[in-house]
């Protein structure tokens, strides 16, 4: 089995040491490098070729948001999982919008951080439906109407089936759950997700979820599910 190549980025040497000790003890994870600031990340990625970058958001010179945005703009970008102390932080939301695959809290139990890295390496999101909803509610602001109009215009390129899959992704469902709910195979779900990502020029499922929320599709889904029979 090929080990997951992991790059650690945090300005606190004690945090890096703890993460390195914890993650390096797993048979399927290889720590390929460490950085103390976001400005070091691109050169390290070129040199070490990680699969996943575990990235602190708050760093003194170049923060994790800027570093994530720079990385995700590359054609050969590794996946990024952001580290934070708050789960409903505006910077976390911005990191997800620019392409981070998810986030983990710094006080998350070690086994869960390991599981998050493995899930991202396997192509799965690392946000639970509950946390996803919390973040999305946090996104609502003064520009909500403008954002909704723009999101609806982007989502208009999807066909009906792709729209259904996008809504299911937005609800935080895994591929197997989507397949069961929409009466299709897991392989077909994966194909639809790939097409959605390509059509909307997105990096990952988290961005699909955020766009579906911005477009108001999750509100519509919730209303349809709660509407009494006969209406």
Q: How does DSSP assign 74-122, residue by residue?
A: STTPPEEEEEES-TT-HHHHHHHHTT--EEEETTS-HHHHHHHHHHHHT
pLDDT per position as a tens digit, 194-205:
999 999 988 888
Q: What are the tokens at 44?
A: 């390290």
Q: Tell me, what's the pLDDT at 223? A: 41
pLDDT per position as a tens digit, 48-79:
999 999 999 889 899 998 999 899 888 888 99
- Reference 200, options 146, 162, 168, 164; nearest CA is 162
Q: What are the tokens at 175?
A: 């591929």
Q: Please give the helix or strand (H or E) that residue 4 lies within, else none.
A: strand 4-9
Phi and psi of 5, rounded to 5°? -85, 120
Percentage, residues of the chain above pLDDT 90: 40
Burial class (CB within 10 angstroms; exposed 0-12, middle 13-18, buried 19+) of 57: buried
Please state the separation of Cα 128 from the chain's center in Å: 11
Angle at 167 between CA 136 and CA 222, to 5 degrees: 70
pLDDT per position as a tens digit, 131-178:
666 666 665 554 566 778 888 999 999 999 999 999 999 888 888 999
User: In the predicted model, is pLDDT for residue 28 greater than 50?
Assistant: yes
Residue 226's pLDDT band (boundaries 50, 70, 90)?
very low
CB 80 within 8 A of CB 71: yes
User: In the predicted model, is pLDDT for residue 221 greater than 90?
Assistant: no
Residue 13's pLDDT band (boundaries 50, 70, 90)?
very high
CB 163 within 8 A of CB 190: no
User: In the predicted model, is pLDDT for residue 189 greater than 50?
Assistant: yes
């Amino acid at each position: 089995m090929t080990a997951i190549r992991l790059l650690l980025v945090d300005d606190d040497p004690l945090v890096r040491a703890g993460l390195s000790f914890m993650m390096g003890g797993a048979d399927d994870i290889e720590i390929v490098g460490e950085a103390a600031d976001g400005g070091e990340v691109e050169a390290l990625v070129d040199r070490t070729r990680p699969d996943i970058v575990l990235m602190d958001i708050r760093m003194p010179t170049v923060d994790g948001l800027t570093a994530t945005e720079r990385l995700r703009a590359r054609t050969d970008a590794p996946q990024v999982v952001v580290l934070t102390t708050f789960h409903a932080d505006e910077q976390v939301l911005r990191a997800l919008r620019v392409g981070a695959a998810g986030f983990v809290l710094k006080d998350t139990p070690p086994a869960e951080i390991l599981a998050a890295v493995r899930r991202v390496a396997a192509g799965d999101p690392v946000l639970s439906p509950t946390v996803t909803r919390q973040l999305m509610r946090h996104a609502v602001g003064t520009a909500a109407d403008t954002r909704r109009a723009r999101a609806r215009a982007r989502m208009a390129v999807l066909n009906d089936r792709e729209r259904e899959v996008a809504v299911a992704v937005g609800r935080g469902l895994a591929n197997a759950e989507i397949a069961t709910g929409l009466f299709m195979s897991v392989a077909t779900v994966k194909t639809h997700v790939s097409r959605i990502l390509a059509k909307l020029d997105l990096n990952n499922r988290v961005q699909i979820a955020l766009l579906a929320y911005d477009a108001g599709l999750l509100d519509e889904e919730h209303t349809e599910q709660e509407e009494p029979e006969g209406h």
